Amino acid sequence: MRSDIIRVMAHLTVSVEYGLHSLLWMVDSGDAPLSARDLAEFQGLSHSFLAKIFPKLEKAGIVRASGGVRGGYLLARPAEEISFLEIVDAIEGPKPLFDCQEIRGRCVLFVPDAPRWAMHGYCSIHAVMLRAEKAMRAELAKTSLRDVAAAVGGKAPPEFPAEVGAWMSARAMGRTKGRETRAMAALTPTREIPS
């Protein structure tokens, strides 16, 4: 059954999966912005790939940017108000699950033109796919980011959220210390100036 689901859902790109996983880590980050680079490293993802996703999420009003050395992204609204459908549409655009090619009109017996009865109304296969897409979009619309974060949190040991928070905080502090060290090095002369 799982392989069947994967084949049908393959129309949604890996960008959706990366975006969703990254947003899940932001649900309980409070007022601490998370950088796309840190989120990518934390999950073993490509930073450049993830950096293309966050502007789409920001444009859709799902996240908001926070500037500065310790800047990054925060959820723009409470997680319970952000649906999976919003996220999917922000990343992928509202493209259809199935792209009907009207193959029904290409029957060899219909040369040179398909009869009206064969082409009338929706293709029966397309109609099934439209119902499936409607059901999928309804499920995505009723599932919030908070719903899934709660399910994920239910699997993790109680100390795990604190470990995630500590790792993210250490990364943010490292960015600050790295910048301070570089600034001090720029101000410190590298050789003596003769008097």
What is the radius of gyration, based on Cα positions, of the chain? 24
What digits encode the pLDDT tens for the residues 23-52?
999 998 888 899 999 999 999 998 999 999
Reported pTM: 0.77
Any idea what DSSP says for residue 65?
E
Mean per-residue pLDDT, 67-90: 91
Task: Please report, for the chain, the start and end positions of each structural domain, with discontinuous segments joined by +.
Answer: 2-154
pLDDT of residue 177: 63
| Cα separation values, 59 from 54, 102, 104, 171, Å | 9, 35, 40, 26
User: Mean pLDDT in the chain?
Assistant: 84
Please say whether the beta carbons of 28 and 161 come within 8 A: yes
Q: What is the pLDDT of residues 171-181, one digit of tens each?
A: 888 876 655 44
The three-state secondary structure class of 74 is: strand
Using CB atoms within 10 Å of the CB of residue 87, give its burial: 0 to 12 exposed, 13 to 18 middle, 19+ buried: buried
Q: Which CATH number fits domain 2-154: 3.30.2320.50, 1.10.10.10, 3.20.20.10, 1.20.930.40?
A: 1.10.10.10
* Terminal Cα distance for the chain, rounded: 81
